[in-house]
Amino acid sequence: MITQRSVKGQEWYQADDIAEEYEEKRFSRGGRLIDRREKQAVLDALAPVEDSTVLEVACGTGRFTVMLAERGADIVGMDISGPMLQQGREKARAAGVDDHLEFMRGDAGRLPFPDDHFDAVFAMRFFHLADTPASYLSEMRRVSKGTVFFDTFNRFSTRSIYNWALPMGSRLYSRYEVRKLLDDAGLELVTDDHDFVLPYGFYREIPGSTASTFRRIDTTLGSIPGGDRLSSVSYWHCEG
């Protein structure tokens, strides 16, 4: 039996309808550019991808798992939700890579792999759900012999304005807190990237045709001195 630790809304992603609508709700319309940006962040952190062994923790519907399998990674996608994994399996079949990846059901708090098993381990959109991030990060570090990569939503940002309205809220992090988590896990920061002054929730509500205009304003705001301090998302690329 799989035991779940402290993850917000742990029941939420177990429902078939939530899993079926997951991508359509977040990554259609203006949300497409978020999907692209996140995929680029993963590719940058994991390069070179081909032939590397990768674990994706909380892989959900396999957005990244399938992309990385298509690029020749030897990848396992793990998630606690059967319905989310089912979406991933269908996507892998449609992309013709179902023989090149493995999806497995499991708990991020107890990764069923020996120490230093993968070249890289990453989790996207997971740490905002975790009430005990240190325990998850230390598991990720344990099974990676190199790269550990993840994202966080930021406390001092536009995300905090609508956080209360989200069905399960999100854990928001300060940069100080993440750096402390990395220190405690024995991880070295390689690069950190801070983006999206306008929060994800804004983009997913607007048509794709106007999203790139707002994205230009967003990146301009982020690039003025101190602008990245307003970013709602951070991407953390570390080494064990």
Contact residues for ligand SAM (CB under 6 A)?
4, 7, 10, 13, 58-61, 63, 79-81, 84, 107-109, 124-126, 129
The backbone torsions φ and ψ at residue 224, rounded to the nearest 5 degrees and listed phi first, read: -75, 155
CB of 201: closest distance to ligand SAM in angstroms? 13
The CA-based dihedral angle spanning residues 131, 132, 133, 134, taken in that order and rounded to the nearest 10 degrees: 160
- Our CB check for ligand SAM shows the closer of 48 and 82 to be 82
- Our CB check for ligand SAM shows the closer of 8 and 179 to be 8
The Cβ of residue 106 has, within 10 Å, a number of other Cβ atoms equal to 17
Tokens of 33: 């550019």
Q: Is 42 exposed, middle or buried (0-12, 13-18, 19+ CB in 10 A)?
A: buried
Cα atoms in the Cβ-side hemisphere of radius 13 Å centred on 212 = 3
Cα gap 208→203, rounded to integer Å: 8
CB of 98: closest distance to ligand SAM in angstroms? 18
The Cβ of residue 213 has, within 10 Å, a number of other Cβ atoms equal to 10
- Our CB check for ligand SAM shows the closer of 132 and 220 to be 132
Cα gap 160→153, rounded to integer Å: 9
- Our CB check for ligand SAM shows the closer of 126 and 202 to be 126
CB of 52: closest distance to ligand SAM in angstroms? 19
CB of 44: closest distance to ligand SAM in angstroms? 16
Q: Are strands 172-173 and 144-154 parallel, antiparallel or unpaired?
A: parallel
CB of 127: closest distance to ligand SAM in angstroms? 10
- Our CB check for ligand SAM shows the closer of 4 and 213 to be 4
CB of 157: closest distance to ligand SAM in angstroms? 18
Closest Cα to residue 150, out of 26, 33, 57, 51? 57
- Our CB check for ligand SAM shows the closer of 162 and 217 to be 162
